[in-house]
Structure 1
Amino acid sequence: MLFRTLFFIFIFVPFLIVVIPLQALIVALRLPFWQVLPRAFHRLGCLFLGMRVHVIGTPSTGRPTLMVSNHISWTDIVALGSVANVTFVAKREVRDWFFVGMMANLQRTIYADRTRRSETGRTAQAMGQHMASGNAVLLFAEGQSDIGTHVLPFRSALVGAAQHAMIEAGARDVVIQPVTVAYTRLQGLPVSRNERSLIAWIKSKSVGQNIRDILAGPLKDVTIAFAEPLPLRETDNRKAVTKAAELQVRAMLVALNRGGPLPGQLAQV
């Protein structure tokens, strides 16, 4: 804990003092290299949080990509952001959180209001426009976080809406890429079910308690597995596409948690 305190004071804070106004200017001017500083921020965040990130496969780049992933903890964002240039889709409340909302805005986060179905179209349009420029958008398709032992059913509404919005925005060569996040070890040892409460944001814990557990917790090994991107056509059935991605993410999570070989095709390194 002493190391993290010193790291925060002497490295993280000075980094933020320089980077925040610089990134705000980059975003305001819509410069093409806006993803460089957020990537550096997330990599530094992994060091601060005690996360070693291992990558299997390769994130899709240079073409419109919708990534769909499982969700375990808010630290997923830091881990994913350290290895892939992505824009996240987050719940609307995040925008109003102290400091977190500001940092999310600087990474051009797209917000979704899950309490109002009428907002689905607006969120999908924002996703489509961003992807039409050749960028990747990552959607936590379960709609909520889980403890990391299994995958909840993926919601297809935003996948289908974004599918049409991308076409309307002029996107071509669109792909969907299943992504799996797995926390496999704590201090070098396999994670037990009871220890997952030190990682996952479970409902019985407050935000403050969850943050304290992670900051005071041991070194965590996180594996990010990128499956082979699949074409996403306007005529594809959104429920079938979403279900196929869900099954692939679930199979990869089970394999990673068990330490076994991954099933199916992964993007080649």
Structure 2
Amino acid sequence: MIATLRIVVVAAAFLIVTLSLLPVQLAALAAGHSLMRRLPRLWHRIMCRIIGLKVVVHGRLSAERPLLIVSNHISWKDIMVLGSVADVVFIAKFEVRQWPVFGWLARLQRSVFVDRARPREVGVQTSEVSERLLAGEAVVLFAEGTTSDGNRVMPFKSSLFGAASAALPRAPDNTVHIQPVAIAYTGIHGLPMGRYHRPVASWPGDVALVPHLLGVLREGALEVDVVFGETIAFDAAADRKKTARHVEAQIRSAVAAALRGTLPD
């Protein structure tokens, strides 16, 4: 009964907040006003509180531009988590565009949708991402290309760094800055999260979205650590595969430290 009531309350709050901010975001998008970049952060911050996501941030978003944020990926909740702590746009799989509610929200946040199944369109999509980078936007790339179980970081796909390479010729000093960001779900109801509760935090691709979403809403009270690493200068001399492995190693180390509870204060 209590769990059902919680779902109803969260759903009602979602509708109230979203419908209240929607006209403002639509107007900002139509006018090309900078508010269209800032308003999603407010929405994500409110929704994190409503759902019960307690976000603990270590480090800070780099002020350097162009900036590509590279992160591990555990769940749809990662969007809210990162969106609540910084003004960012996301690179998303093309399928996300077709999802009910989530796809609509992703379009409102001006996500860039990439369809790797259509090689002929990759160049156009890469160009759009590089234009966002050159416009000074912080662009988030989930470099695993899928979601993990939250206990590990899967190998990064170096091909996804192509947008950084495409932006180099027009970037200041011919350099794109890459910032590793680690996400780790570490607690539930004030207690350390063990493997038993990991399915609440993670969302593997073979699990239906709606049942997982309802499970998260029933539980609430999830704690998540976000660790901003030091930026890496990516230029024409940089090797894309080596850069991907280096960023992957940094994120894997930060996730492991977060899960062990050994992150520095």
Q: TM-score, normalised by structure 2?
A: 0.92
Q: Per the alignment, do residues 244 and 39 of structure 1 end up closer, same or farther by CA in structure 2, a change over 3 Å counting?
A: same
Partner of 1:49: 51
Residue pairs, 1:1-269, within 5 angstroms: 1=3, 2-3=5-6, 5-9=8-12, 11-61=13-63, 63-159=65-161, 161-168=162-169, 170-172=170-172, 173-261=175-263
SS at match of 1:149: coil
Partner of 1:265: none
Q: Tell whether the 8 Å contact from 1:61 to 1:135 is kept in structure 2 after alignment.
A: no
Q: CA deviation at 1:91?
A: 0.4
Q: Tell whether the 8 Å contact from 1:27 to 1:34 is kept in structure 2 after alignment.
A: yes
Q: CA deviation at 1:20?
A: 1.2
- The number of equivalent residue pairs is 260
Structure 1: runs of 5 or more not aligned: 263-268
Structure 2: runs of 5 or more not aligned: none
Task: Tell me the amino acid that sits aligned with residue 249 of structure 1.
Answer: I
Structure having the larger proportion of residues in helix = 2
Cα distance in 2, alignment partners of residues 198 and 234 from structure 1: 42
Q: Which moved more, 1:187-196 or 1:78-87?
A: 187-196
Task: Tell me the amino acid that sits aligned with residue 199 of structure 1.
Answer: A
Q: Per the alignment, do residues 261 and 41 of structure 1 end up closer, same or farther by CA in structure 2, a change over 3 Å counting?
A: closer
Q: TM-score, normalised by structure 1?
A: 0.91
Cα distance in 1, alignment partners of residues 57 and 79 from structure 2: 14
Partner of 1:266: none
Task: Tell me the amino acid that sits aligned with residue 43 of structure 1.
Answer: R
Percent of aligned positions that are identical: 36
SS at match of 2:69: strand
Cα distance in 2, alignment partners of residues 204 and 131 from structure 1: 32
Cα distance in 2, alignment partners of residues 204 and 32 from structure 1: 37
Q: Tell whether the 8 Å contact from 1:26 to 1:34 is kept in structure 2 after alignment.
A: yes
Task: Tell me the amino acid that sits aligned with residue 222 of structure 2.
Answer: K
Following TM superposition, the consecutive aligned residue runs of length 4 or more in structure 1 with deviations greater than 4 angstroms are none
Q: CA deviation at 1:36?
A: 1.8
Cα distance in 2, alignment partners of residues 119 and 191 from structure 1: 41
Q: CA deviation at 1:39?
A: 0.5
